[in-house]
């Protein structure tokens, strides 16, 4: 039969050589691929183990607590909270699986120092990483705020202001802390007040010690925190120089603040040192101080023109009936008033001015007199202005 010219018959020897050649290449290929196939099997087994382990870790620690539950939960990170505290609170709120894992993962990924205080909306469908990311963004609300305490404010004024500004929730609780003062006995000047013989008779142990100023406070600050901030400022204002000067005058810090509080209420800043001189002169002569503002502190009367019955109110604060200084401060004095209490006007001290009265209620200008006769004449002249002022103000 006819054949293609490319075809030919193989001899037995040629067929044997062809078979040996094929076996050789198969053997070589298997030898070369076998380690690779074994390695691939090992990789697949390890990958399977790792994947299974990762799935277990993710399911039990990293994944959402409940992927179907998107109910919003308010979670608060208080100012100054440690990472441990945040992790504990998250687990207690049911937002993460394990507090320890959260803490170490957050620390490893660098979240520990980035978490910000604030109020966050979180849900159980969020995984651990999403919660970490959220807690580092802040809630968009400021963590601090400013408050301003005005010179001449009483403890009651301060409490009303803080309540109005929503710095404190309970005005009466704040007043209770200031009335007792025992929670702040670590301040030496508060401890001195509490140890004084008539401490229990004071309206407020902390009156005069809540320094007027503008303060930056945390929005989460408690009433005790605010009070401590104000008390600390009093210590900063009443420096070593003032302590030395008080000793020279034979006055305690409490007496200086008491006198300063009266000066604050009686005059404008320009007349502080002159009013101080009048009070110092009267104290030297063992005269009653006869200060209207001490009566107003006790009675709450706002009128300029006080009546005889007003002046007879029975109180250790009423300087018309008690000798010397009142029982304690009647407001928070400014630094200028404190300095004036320590450094009265030397000329007015030398000239022995003993009296003053309001000359113009609208401006606060005062008229000073050396003698009772001068003072009574001034009162007769200016008293009608006080009465007109009271009528105008509806007092």
How does DSSP classify residue 365? E
pLDDT for residue 105: 87
pLDDT tens for each residue of 234-261: 999 999 999 999 999 999 999 999 999 9
Q: In terms of C-beta distances under 8 Å and separation of at least 24 residues, what long-range contacts does 386-392 make, across chains too?
A: 386/304, 386/305, 386/358, 386/361, 387/304, 387/305, 389/304, 389/361, 389/362, 390/303, 390/304, 390/305
pLDDT for residue 19: 61
pLDDT tens for each residue of 80-113: 788 899 989 999 999 898 988 888 888 888 887 7
Question: Do 353 and 278 form a contact (C-beta atoms < 8 A)?
Answer: yes
Question: Do 218 and 79 form a contact (C-beta atoms < 8 A)?
Answer: yes
Question: Do 41 and 49 form a contact (C-beta atoms < 8 A)?
Answer: no
Burial class (CB within 10 angstroms; exposed 0-12, middle 13-18, buried 19+) of 36: exposed
Question: Do 58 and 96 form a contact (C-beta atoms < 8 A)?
Answer: no
pLDDT for residue 12: 65
Domains of the chain by start residue, with CATH = 73-135 (3.30.1490.480), 144-236 (3.30.1490.480), 251-392 (no CATH)
pLDDT tens for each residue of 18-67: 666 555 566 666 676 777 777 776 666 665 655 655 566 556 666 888 88
pLDDT for residue 4: 47
pLDDT for residue 235: 94
Query: Is the entire prediction scored with pTM above 0.75?
Result: no
pLDDT for residue 68: 87
Sign of the CA dihedral 286, 288, 289, 294?
positive
């Amino acid at each position: 039969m006819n054949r293609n010219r490319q075809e030919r018959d193989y001899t037995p020897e040629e067929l044997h050589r062809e078979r040996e050649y094929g076996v050789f290449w198969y053997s070589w290929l298997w030898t070369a691929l076998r380690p690779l196939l074994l390695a691939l099997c090992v990789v697949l087994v390890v990958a399977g183990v790792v994947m299974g382990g990762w799935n277990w870790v993710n399911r039990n620690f990293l994944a959402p607590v409940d992927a179907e539950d998107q109910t919003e939960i308010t979670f608060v990170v208080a100012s100054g909270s440690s990472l441990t505290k945040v992790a504990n609170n998250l687990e207690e709120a049911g937002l993460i699986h394990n507090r320890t894992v959260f803490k170490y993962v957050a620390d490893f990924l660098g979240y520990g120092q980035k978490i910000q205080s604030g109020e966050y909306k979180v849900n159980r469908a969020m995984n651990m990483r999403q919660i970490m990311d959220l807690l580092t963004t802040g809630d968009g609300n400021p963590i601090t705020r400013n408050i301003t305490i005005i010179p001449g404010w009483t403890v009651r004024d301060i409490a009303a202001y803080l309540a109005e500004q929503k710095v404190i929730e309970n005005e009466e609780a704040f007043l209770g802390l200031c009335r007792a003062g025992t929670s702040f006995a670590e301040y030496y000047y508060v401890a001195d007040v509490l140890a004084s013989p008539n401490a229990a008779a004071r309206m407020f142990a902390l009156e005069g010690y809540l320094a007027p100023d503008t303060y930056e406070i945390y929005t989460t600050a408690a009433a005790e925190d605010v009070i401590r901030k104000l008390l600390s400022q009093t210590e900063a204002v009443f420096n070593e120089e003032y302590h030395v000067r008080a000793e020279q005058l034979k006055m305690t810090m409490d007496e200086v603040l008491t006198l300063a509080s009266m000066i604050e209420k009686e005059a404008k800043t320009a007349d502080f040192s002159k009013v101080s001189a009048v009070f110092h002169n009267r104290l030297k002569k063992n005269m009653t101080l006869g200060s209207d503002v001490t009566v107003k502190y006790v009675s709450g009367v706002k009128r300029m023109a006080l009546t005889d019955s007003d002046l007879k109110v029975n109180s250790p604060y009423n300087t018309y009936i008690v000798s010397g200084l009142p029982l304690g401060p009647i407001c928070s004095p400014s630094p200028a008033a404190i300095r004036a209490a320590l450094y009265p006007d030397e000329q007015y001290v030398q000239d022995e001015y003993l009296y003053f009265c309001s000359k113009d209620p609208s401006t606060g200008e005062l008229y000073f007199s050396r003698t009772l006769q001068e003072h009574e004449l001034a009162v007769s002249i200016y008293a009608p202005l006080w009465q007109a002022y009271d009528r105008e103000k509806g007092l």
